[in-house]
Chains A and B, each alone.
Chain A
Amino acid sequence: MKVNIINKLYDRLSIWKRKIQHFLQTLLAFIKWFGYHRRVQVLFAVLVISLPLFLIVYGIVLPAKNHKPFPVTSDISSDTVLSGKISLNDDMLASLKNIISLENEKVFQKNRLSLADKDSIYLILDLRDSLLLLEIKGVPVRTNKIIDLSKSRRFSLISHENLLPWISEPFTLERELSTIPKMPIVVKQAPKDTAEAAQTSSTPLPPESTAVFFTFFFDRNLAIEFEQADPLKEEDYPVIKSYRSKKRKESRHSVFQTLKSPRQADQPLLIRIVIDEADARAIYRAVPSRTHLILKL
């Protein structure tokens, strides 16, 4: 019986061995054929580089080359023409930098004033002092120190003349992605009688421990990524994986949008912020779904 099984196994192995030998011989013949035909090699090389080249040219080189900040008004264009004749010495340059800083501050305080009149909770992102503030009616209720901050290179490419109108109104939140729910709702059915009520536990649920990562997508192409500084726990990985996969999907969608219109001027401006887990959770839970953001540059 045992000998029979071993023989059958041996036969099968020999068949597989022959099949593999045949495949390798075919492959070798194919490679030899490929090596002798120069035209086929060229066709293969062209095919291989065609799609990556297309993506690089239409999705990266062209948008970067034609990158135009927004919003470009006709007034600014005419000023830019005039600016060719202006030369600035060091004192004038220092004075101009101070004016730019004052103009940014004026726009920032004006935005605070406009939101202070509304009955809403809003965010202030102060890139100058690395602070993230939560305000209600002009009163700062929470000030968070930003642990790490990085922003898109596009910011340094946009002139003050274009940046000023861009930040002159508060940004409005349009959509968001997050690892935690907006409200940690628990649904409870009312007990039928006192006996059932006595059986239900009155002990509160343990505090939430899910890692806090979220991205806010504002109008005028501003996106802000919030990440917790605290190290991740093993149970966080599936949630983070799902969040990152959603973000990659967004990114891939933008790739195809760019390919459809490679000359578009309004590429998203991304800011990445790292704050404490408690701060990130409080900020995410506190702001309403259509919250506003004031950006201080």
Chain B
Amino acid sequence: MKVLVVFFLGLLFSALLSWPIVRNFSRIQETALRFKPKAELKATAARIGPEKFSTYQASLEKELAAIRKKLAAYIPKQPYLIINTSGNDFLLMKDGQQIRHGMCSTGSYTVLQAGEFREWIFKTPRGMFHIQGKTPNPVWRKPDWAFVEDGLPIPSATHHSRYEYGVLGDYALSLGKGYLIHGTLYKRFLGMPVTHGCIRMGDEDLADVYKTLPIGARVYIY
């Protein structure tokens, strides 16, 4: 009986001692690796051959310059816009330099459910887009969700109640698929994710963005 107690106590103490090892396993492994010698460079020297160091270095520099040139072609020559949907701010860029920074509003990530089969998610798409059109004094053509959200019946596609004046600010820049960069009446919400997917800006910022970005200019949204 006593031997059995000793046996079980031994197992218990063993498990108790092992627990900190299991908890800090990777840390102990890292410490154990301190005793391994650091990697040597001789294998690299053998691959290149010490007598070819200078020619190889020159060829590497040449290749690198060619790759950098190809990469530089990806930086837009004309001004471009960067939108941060997480922080709700934007950067207007020209020649790789920031020329304006300001607050904006992007998609609220609200899912509007109307019945079992209809729902809309209000998020701003991410990726690279182009300015497809520029409109001064834009008129908002209200989509179906705007009526559903207000508890109103959805009118026909050409019904006059679809058109609302003065709510999109002085300018609108189209990104395609119905997404716009436009102004807002709700300036106190700038810097917050409150929109239905469009990008809202303050009046001065919008005017500057409208004047700076030509049609075809790139807009990067992340």
Binding site for B on A (CB under 8 A): 30, 33-34, 40, 43-44, 46-52, 55-56, 59-61, 63-64, 67, 69, 76, 79-80, 82-84, 86, 88, 92-93, 95-100, 102-103, 105-106, 109-110, 112-113, 116, 119-121, 134, 136-139, 141-142, 152-154, 156-162, 183-197, 204, 207, 248, 251-252, 254-255, 258, 267, 270, 278, 281-282, 285-286, 288
Assign chain B's interface to a size class: 35 or more
| B177 contacts partner chain A, Cβ-Cβ < 8 Å | no
Q: Is the CB–CB distance between B32 and A64 below 8 Å? A: yes
Q: Is the CB–CB distance between B43 and A96 below 8 Å? A: no
- Bound-state CA distance A193–B153 (Å) is 9
If over half of B's interface residues share one DSSP class (helix, strand or loop), that class is named, otherwise mixed; here it is: helix
Tell me how far the C-beta of A200 lies from the nearest C-beta in chain B, rounded to whole angstroms.
9
Q: Count CB-based A-B contacts (< 8 Å).
A: 258
Residues of B close to A285: CB separation below 8 A: 85-86
Q: Is the CB–CB distance between A80 and B46 below 8 Å? A: yes
Contact with A along B1-39 (1 / 0, CB 8 A): 011011101110111011001110110111011111111
Binding site for A on B (CB under 8 A): 2-3, 5-7, 9-11, 13-15, 17-18, 21-23, 25-26, 28-30, 32-48, 50, 53-54, 56-57, 60-61, 63-64, 67-68, 70-71, 74-76, 80, 82, 84-87, 108-115, 121, 123, 126-128, 148-152, 189, 192-194, 218, 220, 222
Q: Is the CB–CB distance between A83 and B46 below 8 Å? A: yes
Say which residue of B32, B42, B54, B109 sits within 8 Å of A186 (CB atoms).
B109
The contact sample of 20 A-B pairs, CB cut-off 8 A, is A34-B6, A47-B14, A48-B14, A51-B17, A59-B25, A80-B43, A80-B46, A96-B48, A98-B57, A109-B67, A121-B126, A141-B82, A157-B36, A185-B110, A186-B108, A191-B149, A248-B23, A282-B86, A282-B222, A286-B86
Say which residue of A50, A139, A142, A186 sits within 8 Å of B76 (CB atoms).
A139
Tell me how far the C-beta of A126 lies from the nearest C-beta in chain B, rounded to whole angstroms.
15
Q: Is the CB–CB distance between A270 and B14 below 8 Å? A: no
Q: Is the CB–CB distance between B45 and A83 below 8 Å? A: yes
Say which residue of A34, A64, A121 sits within 8 Å of B222 (CB atoms).
A121
- Bound-state CA distance A273–B25 (Å) is 20
Q: Is the CB–CB distance between A109 and B71 below 8 Å? A: yes
If over half of A's interface residues share one DSSP class (helix, strand or loop), that class is named, otherwise mixed; here it is: helix
Say which residue of A43, A48, A197, A251 sits within 8 Å of B13 (CB atoms).
A48
Known contacts A79-B47, A121-B127, A184-B109; A194 and B14 CB within 8 A of each other = no
Q: Is the CB–CB distance between B71 and A186 below 8 Å? A: no
Say which residue of B13, B28, B192, B220 sits within 8 Å of A136 (CB atoms).
B220
Q: Is the CB–CB distance between B60 and A102 below 8 Å? A: yes
- Bound-state CA distance A154–B33 (Å) is 7
Known contacts A48-B13, A95-B53, A255-B25; A142 and B148 CB within 8 A of each other = no
Q: Is the CB–CB distance between B87 and A282 below 8 Å? A: yes
Known contacts A51-B17, A187-B111; A251 and B26 CB within 8 A of each other = yes
Tell me how far the C-beta of A275 lies from the nearest C-beta in chain B, rounded to whole angstroms.
13
Q: Is the CB–CB distance between B60 and A106 below 8 Å? A: yes
- Bound-state CA distance A141–B9 (Å) is 61
Say which residue of A30, A34, A99 sits within 8 Å of B57 (CB atoms).
A99
Q: Is the CB–CB distance between A52 and B44 below 8 Å? A: no
Residues of B close to A192: CB separation below 8 A: 151
Q: Is the CB–CB distance between B28 and A60 below 8 Å? A: yes
